[in-house]
């Protein structure tokens, strides 16, 4: 057992970290002592268990954001178009989650609007570009 990597549950009781270890324990049929951490906020989880790089979409999915893939792309495109990114090529996953949480209704509206517009016969822009522009305006 690695004490720096406990089995981790969210504030709502959702398993956030340790899925593979728990599957291995079940498969082995052995009893294993492990550290367990409960009550972790989804926002804090974005910096936990980063052995495999989590994307902004992964973080929004863990936070149970509807349309998380499109929303992550839209916010990424918004940051690309805006001065909020200050010319950086990389935006942290925490920033994307913070931006979403600051106005989740708008980002969901932008996602739905962009999808409807993108479903027309003439596709000039992607869902991410449409939603990103909406955020910029």
What sign does the dihedral 91-97-98-103 (CA atoms) show?
positive
So what's the pLDDT on residue 1? Answer: 44
For residue 16, the SS3 value is: strand
The pLDDT value recorded for residue 23 is 84
Residue-wise pLDDT for 25-83, tens only, equals 888 888 888 888 888 886 666 566 556 677 888 888 888 899 999 999 889 888 877 76
């Amino acid at each position: 057992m690695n004490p720096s990597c406990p089995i981790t549950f969210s504030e709502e009781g959702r398993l956030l970290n340790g899925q593979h270890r728990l599957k291995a324990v079940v498969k082995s049929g052995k009893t294993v002592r492990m550290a367990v951490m409960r009550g972790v906020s989804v926002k804090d989880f974005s910096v936990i268990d980063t052995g495999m790089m989590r994307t902004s979409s992964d973080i929004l999915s863990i936070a149970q954001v509807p349309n998380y893939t499109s929303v992550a792309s839209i916010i990424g495109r918004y940051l690309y178009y805006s001065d909020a990114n200050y010319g950086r090529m990389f935006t942290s996953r925490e920033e994307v989650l913070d931006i979403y949480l600051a106005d989740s209704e708008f980002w969901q509206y932008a996602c739905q609007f962009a999808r409807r517009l993108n479903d027309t016969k003439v596709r000039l822009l992607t869902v991410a570009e449409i939603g990103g522009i909406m955020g910029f305006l």
